[in-house]
């Protein structure tokens, strides 16, 4: 469990969960509902949707459970993180949907998107190469591209957030097909 305390994203999630828990406890304490032990359960499970790539499997496929910390592959609601755990092993993304993808500056390999995918949350790129090889990718959250590489190849990239959406893209990024299907997208280079 040491990696939970030392990982910046996990630590931030735990801190956020703690603030929420304190707020829930105060509301329950002031109301008529009895205070229960559900807050403890929530705190213990607050990082249950986070999946960290460790590349420990025999394949490079995202669907291979052994490539993830605790051999627990991502699901549609997962926030996946590629970082320094195994920075040199590339990932073939062969899953359809995901919540959020974060590629940290400590990751030096490729995340190859090989299937049409929808990212319902954010795409955060600070290192490595986010390499789209599928026909299309839909991003419903923000894009924070601060380092590494974003390679769209001949794929269609669609920004389709339901509310305001921000895409911060480094210069010299080429899109083959780029679509904005959202009420308000702020795109900056």
Average pLDDT, the chain: 77
**How would residue 47 be classed by pLDDT, with cut points 50, 70 and 90?**
low
Q: Are 121 and 139 in contact (CB under 8 A)?
A: no
pLDDT reported for residue 186: 66
Look at 108 and 36; give whichever has higher pLDDT. Answer: 108
Cβ neighbour number for residue 70 with a 10 Å cutoff: 9
Answer whether residue 57 shows pLDDT above 50.
Answer: yes
Answer whether residue 26 shows pLDDT above 90.
Answer: no
Separation between Cα atoms, residue 20 and residue 24, nearest integer Å = 6
The stretch 19-28 carries a mean pLDDT of: 28
Separation between Cα atoms, residue 103 and residue 124, nearest integer Å = 6
0.85 cut: is pTM over it? Answer: no
pLDDT in tens, 69-88: 999 999 888 999 999 888 88
Which residues are CB-neighbours of 183 under 8 A, at least 6 positions away?
162, 163, 164
pLDDT in tens, 129-188: 999 999 999 999 999 999 999 999 999 999 998 878 888 888 788 889 988 887 766 666
């Amino acid at each position: 469990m040491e990696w939970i305390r030392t990982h910046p994203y996990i630590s931030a999630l735990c801190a956020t969960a703690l603030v929420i828990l304190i707020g829930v406890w105060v509301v329950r304490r002031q109301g008529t509902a009895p205070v229960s032990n559900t807050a403890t359960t929530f705190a213990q499970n607050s990082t249950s949707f986070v999946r960290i790539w460790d590349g420990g499997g025999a394949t490079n496929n995202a669907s291979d459970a052994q490539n993830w910390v605790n051999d627990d592959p991502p699901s549609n609601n997962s926030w996946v993180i590629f970082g320094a755990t195994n920075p040199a092993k590339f990932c073939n993304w062969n899953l359809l949907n995901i919540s959020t993808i974060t590629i940290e500056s400590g990751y030096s390999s490729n995340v190859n998107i090989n299937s049409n995918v929808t990212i319902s949350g954010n795409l955060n790129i600070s290192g490595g190469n986010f390499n789209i090889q599928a026909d299309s990718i839909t991003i419903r959250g923000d894009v924070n591209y601060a380092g590494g590489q974003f390679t769209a190849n001949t794929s269609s990239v669609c920004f389709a957030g339901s509310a305001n959406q921000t895409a911060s893209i480094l210069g010299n990024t080429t899109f083959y097909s780029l679509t904005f299907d959202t009420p308000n997208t702020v795109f900056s280079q």
